């Protein structure tokens, strides 16, 4: 961050001296090949036209104007006009001081500028326990919220409870069916009902409370009792499962409150007024094709019932009414066909759908055990619940696994691998890096070592190749956080952490710390590793994973 900023400023003023504007597509980044230096930029190629000079000639002029800066060790022109820049070791050593000063704030930035973002995630219907697929959405949403906060966004997290509509009615019917069965009645299985064991448990609880009156009261009333009890208990279970997974939503938003407040009717009226909705074939339609959807969508079915989409429109209107600038919806990837109509909805609300609505699709998880895939279906009651998985592998391993892939790619979650304490299980690799540093400090204390604070002079001892590799990586952490926030990709943080951990483990093997030979070198190395531990902690925190002191 510091390095790219410094270089950009130097280049900008050099170009400005020649009346050349900063080309928009300029990149400044670490070159793939380390022998090219610390940073490479294509600025001369991008600005060549404006400068009316060949790229290499412009690059040479820029090189000369940079060469005098004391922070730069070398500047060279290469290839078609790349400018390769190396900073001095002293510059990199300062990074330890930077990390020390910022502490747990190291890596935060202000690119969010306080923009208000809402992240809505999980939002599973309260018709059954969360399964492992929900767990992935939970990990991605929670981590994304943390990343966005670190990048200076003002974030609020929310769970939308679909507590109105058909699925909940089926839940009530499913429970009532089990009640009857348990009370000795022979009844036909309802269609499309939920058959998991938890339904039977709920039925037993209701029988304890109400006994046979469930059979004698009007059926609608009995179904309602079942539905309400089921919803309350299942939702409580979901909250507990999420808490155990270290995921906490700030707002729990029930769909029913939208209906109660007349928000759906208000949304309809608004659409009608804008001429974006109409009656046809006894149904009420949203003209989503106006905004590029394939076809118009029904909001009120000809039978008078609302579609899900109807309350989704009201819900999103409500989100924007609450003042959010950007709304993030995290969905299962199988809902991707829903995106165009949701974008149309946002457009109809008078917002720019690209800027105001980010839909993050989370691919399904293949759960593997003993090399076999475990099939899942909520309705059939066959699934590995999130709670089971967390109990088996722990929240840390599960979260890290969920965040170790781009969210929209398939994920094989191998229960055997995740329980192994090996490289099949990267979470241990990263956590071990933290524990190793902590263990060194514990050892140092044991030996009665006093470790002087880091100073420029002391840090000058950090001059091996491994020192500089680590320092450069530490300096890249803020960029990683910024990139993760910009691209809504928390997995970038876990990739960075794996790199940093690898670098640390190598360092540990190659450079003795406590037995370095002289106290100053030992102290300098400890201060460096302390900074590494700080960054590992900060990064793991963005993933919601613990950084243990010992393993």
Partner RNA sequence: GCGCCCGUAGCUCAGUUGGAUAGAGCAUCUGCCUUCUAAGCAGACGGCCACAGGUUCGAAUCCUGUCGGGCGCACCA
**Residue 483 makes contact with RNA by CB under 7 A:** yes
CB of 235 to RNA, least distance (A): 15
Q: Which of 73, 74, 86, 283 binds RNA (CB under 7 A)?
A: 283
Distance of alpha carbon 332 from its chain centroid, rounded? 14
Q: Which is nearer to RNA, 179 or 476 (CB)?
A: 476
Residues 122-141 that bind RNA (CB under 7 A): 125
Strands 116-120, 154-161: pairing is parallel
The position carrying tokens 């029930």 is: 254
Q: Is 27 in the site for RNA (CB under 7 A)?
A: yes
Binding positions for RNA, 444-463, rule CB under 7 A:
none
Between the CA of residue 492 and those of 47, 310, 484, what are the distances in Å?
31, 36, 6
For residue 373, state whether it binds RNA (rule: CB under 7 A).
no
Q: Which is nearer to RNA, 118 or 489 (CB)?
A: 489
Per CB under 7 A, 426 contacts RNA: yes
CA 75/CA 326 separation, integer angstroms: 42
Beta strands in 48-175 (DSSP E): 72-78, 82-87, 116-120, 154-161
Residue 337 interacts with RNA (CB under 7 A)?
yes
We find the least distance from the C-beta atom of residue 366 to RNA, in angstroms, to be 8
- 472, two tokens: 């450069």
Pick from 293, 326, 376: nearest CA to 488:
326
Q: Smallest distance from the beta carbon of 209 to RNA, in angstroms? A: 27
* Residue numbers 377-406 binding RNA by CB under 7 A: 405-406
Instruction: Please report whether residue 78 would count as binding RNA according to CB under 7 A.
Output: yes
Q: How far is the CB of 3 from RNA (least distance, A)?
A: 12
CB 357 within 8 A of CB 344: no
Task: Choose, by CB under 7 A, the member of 191, 208, 281, 518 that binds RNA.
Answer: 281
**Position 291 contacts RNA (CB under 7 A):** no
Closest CA to 530 of 483, 484, 462: 462
Taking the complex as a whole, how short is the minimal distance between the CB of residue 163 and RNA, in angstroms?
10
Binding RNA (rule: CB under 7 A), the pick from 242, 258, 386, 411 is 411
Residues 154-183 that bind RNA (CB under 7 A): 162, 165-167
Which of 79-87, 201-209, 215-223, 451-459 is the region at the interface with RNA (rule: CB under 7 A)?
Answer: 79-87
- Select from 118, 127, 45 the least CA-distant residue to 78: 45
Q: Of 120, 508, 523, 524, which lies in the binding site for RNA, with binding defined by CB under 7 A?
A: 508
Our finding on whether 421 is near RNA (CB under 7 A) is yes
- 208 lies in the site for RNA, by CB under 7 A: no
219 counts as binding RNA under rule CB under 7 A: no
Comparing CB distances to RNA, the nearer of 320 and 338 is 338
CA distance 273 to 212: 52
Q: Measure Cα distances from 377 to 13, 190, 194 in Å.
A: 61, 17, 10
- Runs of H (alpha helix) within 151-288: 166-182, 197-210, 213-216, 219-244, 255-260, 263-273
Rounded-to-integer distance, Cα 319 and Cα 312, Å: 10
Please list every residue from 315 through 334 that binds RNA, using CB under 7 A. Answer: 333-334
| Residue nearer to RNA on the CB measure, 322 or 410 | 410
Q: Indicate whether 9 belongs to the interface with RNA (CB under 7 A).
A: no
Cα 6 from chain centroid?
A: 30
Confirm or reject binding of residue 520 to RNA (CB under 7 A): no
For RNA, give the closer residue by CB, 104 or 408: 408
Minimum CB distance to RNA smaller for 91 or for 496: 496
Residue 509 binding RNA, by CB under 7 A = yes
What does DSSP assign to residue 350? T
Only segment of 64-72, 307-315, 342-350, 384-392 that touches RNA (CB under 7 A): 307-315
Residue 249 C-beta: closest distance to RNA, Å: 18
Provide the pairing of β-strand 277-280 with 283-286. Answer: antiparallel
Segment (H or E) for 522: helix 519-543
Considering only the C-alpha atoms of the chain, give the largest distance between any 2 of them, rounded to a whole number of Å. Answer: 93
């Amino acid at each position: 961050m510091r390095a790219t900023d410094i270089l950009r400023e130097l280049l900008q003023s050099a170009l400005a001296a020649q009346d050349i504007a900063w080309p928009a597509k300029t990149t400044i980044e670490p070159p793939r090949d380390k022998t090219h230096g610390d940073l490479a930029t294509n600025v001369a190629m991008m600005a060549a036209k404006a400068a009316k000079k060949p790229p290499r000639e412009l690059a040479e002029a820029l090189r000369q104007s940079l060469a005098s800066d004391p922070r730069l060790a070398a500047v060279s022109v290469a290839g078609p006009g790349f400018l390769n820049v190396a900073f001095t070791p002293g510059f990199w050593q300062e990074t330890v001081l930077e990390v020390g000063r910022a502490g747990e704030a190291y890596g935060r930035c202000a690119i969010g500028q306080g923009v208000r973002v809402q992240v809505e995630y999980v939002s599973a219907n309260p018709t059954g326990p969360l399964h492992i697929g929900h767990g992935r959405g939970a990990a991605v949403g929670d981590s994304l919220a943390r990343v966005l906060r670190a990048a200076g966004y003002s974030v609020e997290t929310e769970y939308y409870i679909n507590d109105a509509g058909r699925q909940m009615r089926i839940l009530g019917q499913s429970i009532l069916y089990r009640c009857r069965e348990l009370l000795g009645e022979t009844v036909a299985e309802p269609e499309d009902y939920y058959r998991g064991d938890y339904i039977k448990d709920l039925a037993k609880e209701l029988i304890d409370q109400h006994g046979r009156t469930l059979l004698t009261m009007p059926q609608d009333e009995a179904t309602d009792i079942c539905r309400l009890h089921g919803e309350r208990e299942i939702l409580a279970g979901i909250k507990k499962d999420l808490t155990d997974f270290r995921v906490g939503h700030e707002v729990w938003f029930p769909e029913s409150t939208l209906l109660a407040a007349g928000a759906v009717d208000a949304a309809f009226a608004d659409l009608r007024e804008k001429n974006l909705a109409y009656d046809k074939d006894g149904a009420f339609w949203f003209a989503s094709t106006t905004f590029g959807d394939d076809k118009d969508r029904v909001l009120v079915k000809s039978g008078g019932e609302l579609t899900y989409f109807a309350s989704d429109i009201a819900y999103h209107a409500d989100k924007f009414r609450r003042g959010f600038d950007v709304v993030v919806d995290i969905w299962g990837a199988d809902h991707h066909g829903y995106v165009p109509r949701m974008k149309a909805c946002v457009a109809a609300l008078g917002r720019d759908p690209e800027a105001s609505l980010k839909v993050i699709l989370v691919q399904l998880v293949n759960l593997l055990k003993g090399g076999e895939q475990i099939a899942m279906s909520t309705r059939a009651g066959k699934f590995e619940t999130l709670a089971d998985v967390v109990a088996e592998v722990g929240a840390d391993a599960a979260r890290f696994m969920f965040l170790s892939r781009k969210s929209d790619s398939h994920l094989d979650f191998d229960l055997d691998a995740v329980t192994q304490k090996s490289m099949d299980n990267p979470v241990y690799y990263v956590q071990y890096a933290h524990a190793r540093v902590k263990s060194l400090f514990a050892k140092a204390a044991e030996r009665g070592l006093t470790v002087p604070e880091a100073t420029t002079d002391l840090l000058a001892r950090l001059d091996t190749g491994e020192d500089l590799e680590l320092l450069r990586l530490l300096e890249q952490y803020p960029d990683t956080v910024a990139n993760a926030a910009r691209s809504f990709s928390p997995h970038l943080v876990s990739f960075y952490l794996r790199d940093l951990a690898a670098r640390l483990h190598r360092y540990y093997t190659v450079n003795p710390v406590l037995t370095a030979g002289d106290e100053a070198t030992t102290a300098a190395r400890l201060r460096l590793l302390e900074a590494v531990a700080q960054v590992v902690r900060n990064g793991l925190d963005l993933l919601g994973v613990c950084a243990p002191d010992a393993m």
